[in-house]
Amino acid sequence: MITRNPQSAVRRRLVLGLFGAVPLVASGALAGPAAAATVRRATLTGIIPPGLRPGGAVDQMISQQAAQDVFSGTVLLASHGEPVLARSYGLANKELSIPNGPDTVFALASVTKAVTGVAVTQLAQRGELGFDDPLGAYLPGFPAEVADNVTIHQLLTHTSGMGDYVTDRTLQSELGSFTSAAGEWAAIMSVIEQQPLLFQPGTQWSYSNSGFFTLGAIVAQVSGQSYYDYVRQNIFGPAGMTSTGFYTKPELLSNNNVAHPYATQEQNGSGPRYDFLDSAYAPFIGGPDGGGWSTAPDMLRFASALWRQRLLDSSFTGIATSAKAPLPASVADSGANADFYCYGLGETVLNHQRIVWHNGGGPGISTDLDTYPDLGWVAIRLENYDTASPSSPIDTLIRDILTTEPGLFAGYHA
* CATH for 305: 3.40.710.10
Number of folded domains in the chain? 1
- CB-based contact 399:17 (threshold 8 Å): no
pLDDT for residue 46? 52
Strand 325-326, strand 293-294: pairing: unpaired
Q: What is the mean pLDDT of the chain?
A: 87
- Beta-carbon-side half-sphere exposure of residue 325 (alpha carbons within 13 Å): 25
pLDDT for residue 193? 98
One-letter amino acid of 314: S
Backbone dihedral region for residue 269 (phi beyond 0: left; psi -120 to 50: alpha; all else: beta): left
* pLDDT mean over 50-74: 96
In angstroms, how far is CA 292 from the centroid of its own chain?
9
pLDDT band for position 408 (50/70/90)? low
pLDDT for residue 173? 87
Alpha carbon of 205 to those of 116, 167, 173, 208, 360: distances in Å?
19, 18, 28, 9, 18
Say what percent of the chain tops pLDDT 70. 85
Cis ω before 390 (30° cut-off from 0): yes
pLDDT tens-digit series, residues 104-146: 999 999 999 999 999 999 999 999 999 999 999 999 999 999 9
pLDDT for residue 332? 85
Q: Whole-prediction pTM value?
A: 0.88
- CB-based contact 214:137 (threshold 8 Å): no
Q: Is the dihedral of CA 60, 66, 69, 74 positive or negative?
A: positive
* pLDDT mean over 349-353: 94
pLDDT tens-digit series, residues 277-324: 999 889 999 999 999 999 999 999 999 999 999 999 999 999 999 999
Structural domain boundaries, residue 48: 1-414
pLDDT band for position 266 (50/70/90)? low
pLDDT for residue 26? 32
Q: How many CB atoms lie within 10 A of CB 247?
A: 20
* pLDDT mean over 202-216: 98
- CB-based contact 100:384 (threshold 8 Å): yes
